[in-house]
Structure 1
């Protein structure tokens, strides 16, 4: 859990633990809000910017979102490590986070893909709600040095996981990947490959890309 996280209600940890008690679940993430009450994190959507991005940005906490996704417990391809819970033994088996390749960004995306490679699910729950002042400690990617480091991490993630980053199995390939369109707000024209995402997931689970 990041140092810029603040719990907003009682019982949030009970909700996360209850989800993690399921043997098939490898990690559980929470609903994170900006200080103004808008959604900062509703799960990770693979493919945004040809890498990954937060789902549900710019929805109000009380919005249902398309198909009610902003208010429903669901399986996702990843969650931010700003608030992410998993079992110690799984973390050790995966050799934890890769602090050398991903010292600042995308270490959580890499970790979540390793969890999927174990054959386990990642769950996002709106019933654990916390406030997240994103980048309050480390600042924004607003200097040449930070931007260069960010691009190095992006290239390493693409090299390591390849097409897995463009085939989010929990998101329909006919929907666009524009993070500013509320995700379900528009279609992908043309649609992405519909036949490949399940095979990619199976291939991901058959390898230990640690």
Structure 2
């Protein structure tokens, strides 16, 4: 009642748990959910149990539709949240679900028709939203956790912007992987040179002059990641900008398509990829506000192995997040400039998170997709921010960030859950 009266909710849901049949004290899972997130809900019925909603949301329709038996609740939730003005998540375990052999809680083998019903419910929802061409397939996490492939409209030019200082080997590896592996063909690469001194990198720039897809432009001045990328954006000819670190290497051949299918949506701002260290542990799988010692932002599932499914399968489907890393970030050029590009007051750190929050403030969704994969040999160019002057600079920028986004940080990340610890990136509960 508090959520209805104070927040004006017309649709509410809570967190839930499953327990072993016959003993409610033997919990099997505890599902602490994000707030309302449409891409999560399309990929899987994370809202599930239980829901409270205004009767008026049912006007002109029925609660359950027989053609979606087995996933009738997923269909119902999609229909009602489509119509709801205010969806509110109550982050408390208020529903306990008994796991027994005949229940879907124990696996879809109990009701094999569930998968087709769930795909049908999501397809029906997408059609209501105006999507006419898409594919829905099961993922490795679970048969009712889906990958949705949206049709790419046309073949827009993507401008890949790479900031660079020296490190010829890293840049060569990055560009070679783009050109040798990418199946998307309509792109240009803009290398923004900034204060290199080694002969090797300038010899490589001369090589790149022969590559019609690559241009090298020069940023004069001290290193400022935001300013360097803003210059690249000004020089870009493409309809889309892809910010990419020089210390990355393409893994997934259709990585640009996987990013573009989301960036083309009218409701989406920035789209980010799944990034790995050289040892195949996760460097980036979406950014969580307030995570980490500085209480600014941190990466979820950090250092987990590539094959891990993630918390409740979250490493296996595209989802809404507060922010994605600028190490690989795709956005419409028009949106990039609509929010003023990257904030140059954040010279090195948190400029990507700040940018994504500006998009969120304008009403756009930011999306992390695990289906675009790259290696990220993080901070090869300038080292890590964990000692000396670099640590002091980070703390200065962290302070600016905390002050600017104080309200959002205090409210908490809507795509995380207040029951999770902000000291760990593995979805551990607060102690």
Per the alignment, residue 193 of structure 1 pairs with none
Deviations 1:181-202 (A, max 9, x none): x12xx2224xxxxxxxxxxxxx
Higher relative contact order (CA 8 A, sep 6+): 1
Task: Look up the SS of the partner of 2:404 in the other structure.
Answer: helix
Deviations 1:7-30 (A, max 9, x none): 002111111001111110111000
Q: What is the alpha-carbon distance in structure 1 between the residues aligned to residue 274 and residue 339 of structure 2? A: 25
Mapping of residues 7-18 of structure 1, within 5 Å: 7-18=250-261
TM-score, normalised with respect to structure 1: 0.85
**1:142 Cα deviation (Å)?**
4.2
- Whether the 8 Å contact between 1:81 and 1:108 is mirrored in structure 2 is yes
Per the alignment, residue 4 of structure 1 pairs with 247
**1:131 Cα deviation (Å)?**
0.3
Match of 2:399 among 144, 155, 175: 155
Matched, 1:55 2:300: yes
Task: Look up the SS of the partner of 2:371 in the other structure.
Answer: strand
Task: Look up the SS of the partner of 2:320 in the other structure.
Answer: strand
**1:146 Cα deviation (Å)?**
1.1
**1:102 Cα deviation (Å)?**
0.7
Q: Which runs of 5+ in 2 are unaligned?
A: 1-243
- Whether the 8 Å contact between 1:54 and 1:179 is mirrored in structure 2 is no
TM-score, normalised with respect to structure 2: 0.42
Who wins on radius of gyration, i.e. which is larger?
A: 2
Matched, 1:83 2:328: yes
How many residue pairs align between the two structures?
Answer: 185
- Whether the 8 Å contact between 2:285 and 2:368 is mirrored in structure 1 is yes
Mapping of residues 1-210 of structure 1, within 5 Å: 1-48=244-291, 49=293, 50-99=295-344, 101-166=345-410, 167-180=412-425, 182-183=426-427, 186-189=428-431
Please, what is the CA RMSD of the aligned residues?
1.2
Runs of 4+ in 1 over 4 A off after TM superposition: none
Q: Specify which structure has the higher proportion of strand.
A: 2
Q: Which runs of 5+ in 1 are unaligned?
A: 190-210
- Whether the 8 Å contact between 2:289 and 2:298 is mirrored in structure 1 is yes
